[in-house]
C-alpha cells in the first residue's frame, strides 16, 4: 500500500511537526510505502501551490491513499485530485478542536459528510463538537525519544539547581511547553497561576519557577520533562495535546486546563490534575498538590495500556487505510 502524507510546516520552519514525522516513520516501519509532502506558506496562494505539487506527485506515485493532516491540507488534496479517473482515497486527520459553530465548523462538517473519504479526530470531545460519529485515534508517542532519565542528571543538563550559593534550598521547576506569543496557549494564565502558588509557600527558602520550553528538539524537550517537577498546560482549546502524552511518557507530574482528551488520559493518575477552570488560584492549588506529590508518576505505563505508543497507533491508522481500499 502506498500513502502520501500531506502536512503543514508553517509552525516549524517549513518542516512538518515532530509528532507527524514520528507517525510517518512508524507507518514506514509497519511496512507501508510512504511519501511525504510538507506544505509551507499561508493563505489561498500557498495551498493552491501545494495542491499543484500534490497533483504532480499523485500522477507520479499513484498512491492508494492521501493522508492529509489539518483540514486545509484536506482541501488541498481534494483540489489536487479533481478530475482524476484513478483518484486515491482521501483521509483527513483533524488535529484541533471546534469550540465554536462558525464557518470553519460548517465547512469541515460538510467535507466530512460529502467530500473526504475518511476523517479521524484526536479526541471524543472534537467528535462531539462536530456532532458526528468519527474514529478517534490520538497521536502516539515515540517512547524511544520520550524516555525515562535520571532526575538529578537531567536537571544538571538543563541548568536547574546549578547555583550552590543560592539561599533557595527547595526550588521547584514547572515547565510550560509552547511559545508564549501564541495566544491560544495562554502564557499570562500560566504566569498568574505560578505567581499565586508562590504566594502560599511556607518557607522563604522555597521557590517555584516557571520555565517556557520552545524551539527545542524532541530530545531536548524530553530532558526538560525529566528534570521538571511539573508540566503546566493552560491552553484555551486542544484536540489531543501531544505535550501531555509526552510528559506522561517521562512520568512527569501534570497540571492542565480541561481541554481535548486530557481528562480521559489522566483520569485516576496520581500526581496529575485536570482543572475545569481558568482561575489562577484554582490552578495554583492543583500545582501545590502536584508538587506535594513529590515523586514521579506512572504515566508511561498508562500510555502503553491505552495503546498510545507510536507503533500501536500506526497499526490503528493502517487498519483505517485498509478499510478505505
Give the model's pLDDT for residue 261: 95
Distances (CA, A) of 168 to 162, 171, 172, 205: 11, 6, 10, 4
Give the model's pLDDT for residue 18: 85
Left (φ > 0), alpha (ψ -120 to 50) or beta: where does 53 sit? alpha
* CA 106 – CA 266 distance, rounded (Å): 31
Q: Indicate the burial class of 267 (C-beta count within 10 angstroms; 0-12, 13-18, 19 or more).
A: exposed
Under a CB-based contact definition with an 8 Å cutoff, are residues 244 and 223 in contact? no
Nearest to 37 by CA among 142, 118, 46, 111: 46
Q: Which band of pLDDT confidence, cut at 50, 70 and 90, is reported for residue 26?
A: very high
Q: Which band of pLDDT confidence, cut at 50, 70 and 90, is reported for residue 11?
A: low
Nearest to 225 by CA among 237, 210, 238, 213: 213
Lowest mean pLDDT among 15-29, 67-81, 104-118, 288-302: 15-29
Query: Each residue of 60-117: pLDDT tens digit?
Result: 999 999 999 989 999 999 999 999 999 999 999 999 889 889 999 999 999 999 999 9
Which has more pLDDT, 21 or 41?
21
What the block records as the C-alpha cell of 35 is 511519501
Strand, helix or coil at 232? strand
Fold of 2-140+309-324: Rossmann fold (3.40.50)
Res 45 pLDDT > 80? yes
Give the model's pLDDT for residue 49: 92
Question: What CATH number is given for 151-305 in this structure?
Answer: 3.40.50.2000
Q: Where are the domains of the chain?
A: 2-140+309-324, 151-305
Under a CB-based contact definition with an 8 Å cutoff, are residues 7 and 20 in contact? yes
* CA 177 – CA 181 distance, rounded (Å): 12
Query: Each residue of 167-218: pLDDT tens digit?
Result: 667 899 999 999 999 999 999 999 999 999 999 887 767 899 999 999 999 9
Strand, helix or coil at 76? helix
Mean pLDDT of 2-25: 82
Fold: same for 2-140+309-324 and 151-305: yes
* CA 63 – CA 57 distance, rounded (Å): 9
Q: Which band of pLDDT confidence, cut at 50, 70 and 90, is reported for residue 166?
A: low
Q: Which band of pLDDT confidence, cut at 50, 70 and 90, is reported for residue 163?
A: low
Nearest to 158 by CA among 219, 241, 242: 219
Nearest to 224 by CA among 309, 149, 169, 274: 149
Res 12 pLDDT > 60? no
Strand, helix or coil at 233? strand
What the block records as the C-alpha cell of 38 is 510538507
Res 227 pLDDT > 60? yes
Give the model's pLDDT for residue 207: 93
Amino acid at each position: 500500500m502506498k500513502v502520501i502524507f500531506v502536512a503543514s510546516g508553517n509552525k516549524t520552519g517549513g518542516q512538518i511537526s515532530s509528532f507527524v514525522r514520528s507517525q510517518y516513520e512508524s507507518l514506514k516501519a509497519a511496512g507501508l510505502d510512504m511519501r511525504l509532502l510538507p506544505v509551507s506558506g499561508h493563505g489561498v496562494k500557498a495551498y493552491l501551490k501545494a495542491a499543484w505539487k500534490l497533483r504532480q506527485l499523485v500522477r507520479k506515485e499513484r498512491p492508494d491513499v492521501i493522508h492529509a493532516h489539518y483540514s486545509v491540507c484536506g482541501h488541498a488534496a481534494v483540489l489536487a485530485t479533481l478530475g482524476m479517473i484513478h483518484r486515491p482515497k482521501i483521509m483527513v486527520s483533524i488535529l484541533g478542536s471546534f469550540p465554536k459553530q462558525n464557518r470553519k465548523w460548517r465547512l469541515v462538517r460538510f467535507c466530512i459528510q460529502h467530500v473526504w473519504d475518511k476523517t479521524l479526530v484526536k479526541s471524543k470531545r472534537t467528535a462531539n463538537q462536530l456532532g458526528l460519529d468519527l474514529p478517534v485515534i490520538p497521536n502516539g508517542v515515540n517512547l524511544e525519544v520520550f524516555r525515562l532519565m535520571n532526575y538529578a542528571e537531567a536537571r544538571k543538563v538543563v541548568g536547574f539547581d546549578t547555583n550552590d550559593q543560592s539561599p533557595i534550598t527547595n526550588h521547584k521547576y514547572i515547565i510550560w511547553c509552547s511559545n508564549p506569543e501564541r495566544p491560544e496557549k495562554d502564557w499570562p494564565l500560566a504566569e498568574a497561576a505560578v505567581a499565586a502558588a508562590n504566594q502560599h509557600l511556607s518557607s522563604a527558602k522555597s521557590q517555584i519557577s516557571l520555565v517556557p520550553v520552545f524551539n527545542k528538539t524532541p530530545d531536548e524537550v524530553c530532558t526538560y520533562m525529566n528534570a521538571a517537577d511539573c508540566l503546566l498546560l493552560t491552553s484555551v482549546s486542544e484536540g489531543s495535546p501531544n505535550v501531555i502524552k509526552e510528559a506522561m511518557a517521562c512520568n512527569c507530574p501534570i497540571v492542565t486546563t480541561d481541554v481535548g482528551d486530557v481528562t480521559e488520559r489522566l483520569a485516576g493518575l496520581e500526581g496529575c490534575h485536570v482543572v475545569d477552570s481558568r482561575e489562577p488560584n484554582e490552578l495554583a492549588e492543583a500545582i501545590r498538590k502536584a508538587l506535594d506529590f513529590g515523586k514521579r508518576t506512572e504515566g508511561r505505563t498508562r500510555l502503553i495500556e491505552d495503546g498510545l505508543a507510536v507503533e500501536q497507533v500506526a497499526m490503528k491508522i493502517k487498519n483505517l487505510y485498509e478499510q478505505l481500499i
